[in-house]
Each structure stands twice: as structure tokens, then as C-alpha cells.
Amino acid sequence: MSASFASALGAARDAAAGQHYPQGTLYVVATPIGNTADITLRALHVLQLADTLACEDTRHTHGLLRVYGIDKSSAQLLALHQHNEAQASQTVIALLQQGQRVAYVSDAGTPGVSDPGARLAAAVRAAGLRVVPLPGASSVTAALSVAGAVASGSADGGFVFAGFLPVKNAERASAVQRLATEPRCVVLLEAPHRIHELAAALAVLGERPVTLAREITKQFEDITTQPAQALTAWLDGAPQRARGEFVVLLHPVAVPEDDSASLRVLQLLLPELPLKTAVRLAADITGAPRNALYETALALRKSAESGDKYE
């Protein structure tokens, strides 16, 4: 055990031991996404208390427990990952029905978001058993908290979590085109060996701001906001920029609320002209930013296709 966590275990017992932790319950436990200090006192207590730990990777979890000074035998660790989640969920249900406390952890962050755990939680709840969340580290919320990309107090506030886009080029390009019409912030995830392909696909969004957050909470954490069309050049600027897991945020882009004139011009032109022509003319007539008008035009076109009017 790292000596720095010896006092944390004592603090975990002091802070959390007096709370109620029923048997026959699945505890979904968030673990650090890089910095081992990002563990909650409640998580440390439940990891000690659990009869069985279901893990995305038992070797990874065993090493993490060792850092914290938590001793679990190999028999207490159960592998539960994307390839065996359905089958292993039934094993977890059987253990819960025997009255065990079972904690589930993925390799990093909050389970069930982009990691395994969603099918497990659904199966346990369907069996009439209790699932308790232990919140903590999340790369998604960590990136959102510093990017300034989530609008509040408007109809287009909030964000959309899209996760990993398709691997194949054509499918990825289609997904980007669909997301281009989403007025809210869009959250994507990407692996280092595919980040260049994603950057190339996002280039069609032009000047739309995109935040790349990599190695979040780690020593070489790097968070930058660039125009979508400049992402490839930024990645090529230094070899280390393409290393590590990425959270990618597509910032919302909209015509300013007080620019009603440009919006009205765009609404009049769209039914009569091709989209790009309507955007170019609206920008020339009103002086509004062409990229902002383009995003608005995509949203208006999508709304019209669903049966709504340009109003």
C-alpha cells in the first residue's frame, strides 16, 4: 500500500462506516480515471466491505486495490466485461440472492456510461434486486466542467453524450453530419489510434469550436479548444498530442438571439434555394457569421423535414 493512502482508509471508516450498506445489493462504484487520489471515502469503504468485486479487468482492479491497501483474494474478484456481461450478470444475481454485497468497477471512471455495467445494472434491477450508485470520477463531466461548452438557461442548454463514433469512414462521416444539426454541446470519446481519423471527419464543421481533452487528471493532462477544421493541424503540431484517451466536445453554435433579422432572412431563403446558397446570401445580406448561419440552417432544415415550419 502507498503510505499516502493509509490515513485515507481510516478516514473512510470514520466517514462512511456508520451509514447503511444493505446485503444483497449491487454497488456501482466509480474509480479514478488516472489520478489515484480521485477516489471517494465512500468508495474506499465499500470496496473493503464488498464480499465480491465484479471487475472489467481483474488484474487492473487488483493493482488498484493494492495501491489503496485493500486486501481481496483472487476468489473475491469476478471478471465482468463487454464480452461476458450477460453471462456474468447472472453470476452476480446469484451472489446477491445469497445475500452478498457485490461492488462493480470498470477500469476507470463511472461504469455503465461508455464502459460495461449498464447491462449488469439492468439485469439486477429486473431480478428485483437493489442497485446503489457510488458517484465519482468521470471523464465526461470532468471535460465539460472546464470547457465552457454547455449553455444554460436556454432551450438549447445541456449536452448530448454520443460516445464513440463508428470506426468505418463512411459511417463516421454520416454520424458527424447528423450531429452537425444538434444545437446542444455534443460529447464524444475517442482512442488515441483513431483520433486523427475523427479529427479529419470533424473538419467539415469548419469554424465550430471543438475541445479536445486528453489524459484528464494525469501528469500530462492537455485540454485545448480549436476550430474543427484546425484539429488535424493541432494534433500534428507535436507527437504527444495524439497520445492518451480523448474526450471531444463539439461546442454549440447558434445565431445570437438578438439577430432576428439574419434568422428571418435565412427562413425566407431556405425554402427557395439550396442550403449552402441560402446561407451564403443570408450572410452577405445581414453580415452574420456564415458558420453560425450554416449550423442554424441545418437545424431549420431538420425541423422542416420533421413537419415543423420555419417559424
User: What is the reported pLDDT for 6?
Assistant: 86
Return the ∠ at Cα 230 (arms to 229 and 232), rounded to 5°: 100
Render pLDDT for 263-298 as a digit per residue (tens, 0 to 9): 888 889 999 999 999 999 988 888 887 878 888 888
Q: Which residues contact 202 (CB under 8 A, 6 or more apart)?
A: 176, 210, 228, 231, 248, 250
Q: What are the residue ranges spanned by the domains of the chain?
A: 3-137, 159-177+185-250, 260-305
Per-residue pLDDT, averaged over 32-47, amounts to 97
- Relative to beta strand 130-134, strand 159-163 is unpaired
CATH homologous superfamily, domain 3-137 = Tetrapyrrole methylase, N-terminal domain (3.40.1010.10)
Q: Is-contact 101 181, C-beta < 8 A?
A: no
Residue of 32, 68, 70, 31 whose CA lies nearest to 49: 70
Q: 159-177+185-250 has which fold?
A: 3.30.950
The whole-angstrom separation of Cα 49 and Cα 132 is 14
**pTM for the structure as a whole:** 0.79
User: What is the reported pLDDT for 143?
Assistant: 97
Render pLDDT for 59-106 as a digit per residue (tens, 0 to 9): 999 999 999 999 999 999 999 999 999 999 999 999 999 999 999 999
pLDDT at 129 over 80: yes
